[in-house]
Amino acid sequence: MIELKILDDEALSKVERQAKLAALFTALDPDRPVHVLDRELLDLTGQRAYDRTMEGPIKGAVKSAKGQLVQSRSEFPESKRSILMLVNNANTALDHDEIVQIVGRRARNDTDDIDGVVVAGAYLHSDGFDTFALWPIDYVPISLDQAFPEFESLRTAFHGYAERAMTAAIINGQSTDMTKGPILDTKFEFEGKTFVKSAPPLGNSSDFYVSGRPRQNSSGIETSPTVGLTFPDLTRDEWSKFREQMPEDASLGARFEEWLAERAEANSQGTPLRPFVPIVVTFDGWISSIKGGAAPRRFKSVSEYANMLYQQAINNVIDGARDLQETKVIPSRYILAVTELIGQDQANDLSHIFLVEERFGSEPRITTLVRNARIFHRHACTLGASYAVKHGVTSLRWEKVITYAWS
């Protein structure tokens, strides 16, 4: 006899389960705002705790099946085998292989009344152009002395149904009862952090999306935000020249020390994602930028000139930015922007920015400027260019970590 159970419980939808997983992965790096729910990141103790947390829906299915199979065998004592067939319908937080492993362990540990388990499911993968459907079905023997020779016929019938259903749904365009959408990232928010179970990659590259499969961007950021707080940096001599040109403008202060205090105040307003960037400004350079026009008597024009110099410098850095993995000659001093691509949504990407100084005969000196910033690749490169200008560096290198990227 076969008892059918359908997994309709999304494993990450329960708050209690979320809290347990959040505690496990936050402990690995409390400063990360985004954690990938990868079992392999945990030690053995953590992996056991992860398994206990994730197996809840499966444990419940095994327990329920046990009771029903016991009842059925009492009603049909001539039955030779008791088989649980578990079909995954909605639990996207566990892939097929994980479910096979968990259900086999639970059946062996929890009962002697199940002789074997059939695990099946339908998984749709799509990038909006290419669509792939997988219909895995496997048998897990529990009682080794109870063979299940009918499994091959069951598998053949299951695959036959899959072929008919996919033909109707995709090739012929016929209406069907299929309502499953493609597998997406599974995630939840807990105490200000995001926890993501990434959708599996499609595996092969796309012939349609030649530059890579598109990813969502739920961050709401379409263009790079302001990545620098500029300030005209003046020596005492240059300050004196501007003070003489603009005697009525209070922005410069009455004394150079007041200007330095203004600079210190501006510096305190900088943040990791909007660093304070002093721009060296000279009176002669400012005059030249006016191109023969009347010299303004207000300091606002000097601030605008500093912003122009900053923009020119940042554009030069970005124009020369290169993939670190494709760089044959490493600069002696450069900014490195590293972005971890996480799943299908750029809003979950994490970036880190470093100042790297190569040293002959020894390891490079690496200074961390930004760590665990929830910004995607382009934003990180622009921010990295701003730090390059701040530190007087002309070279920017970038790196994408694709361990958990969707492709």
pLDDT mean by block of 10 residues, the chain; 407 residues: 83 90 97 95 95 88 84 79 87 86 86 87 78 86 85 92 79 55 85 91 68 80 87 96 92 94 96 97 94 84 96 96 91 96 94 94 94 96 97 97 88
Torsion over CA of 153, 155, 157 and 161, rounded to 10 degrees? Answer: 180
Helix, strand, coil % over all residues of the chain, rounded to 5: 40, 25, 35
Q: How far is residue 114's CA from residue 69's CA, in Å, rounded to a whole number?
A: 8
CB-based contact 52:26 (threshold 8 Å): no
Q: How far is residue 164's CA from residue 160's CA, in Å, rounded to a whole number?
A: 6
Question: Locate tokens 């595996």: which residue?
Answer: 203
Nearest residue to 114 (alpha-carbon basis) of 155, 85, 136, 151: 85
CA dihedral over 224, 189, 100, 166, signed as positive or negative: negative
So what's the pLDDT on residue 209? Answer: 64
So what's the pLDDT on residue 361? Answer: 84
So what's the pLDDT on residue 176? Answer: 47
How many Cβ atoms sit within 10 Å of the Cβ of residue 95? 18
Which residue type does 372 have?
N
Cα separations (Å) of 378 from 175, 203, 231, 279?
42, 24, 24, 23
Q: What is the CA radius of gyration of the chain?
A: 31
So what's the pLDDT on residue 302? Answer: 95
372: left (phi over 0), alpha (psi -120 to 50) or beta: left
Q: What pTM was estimated for this model as a whole?
A: 0.85
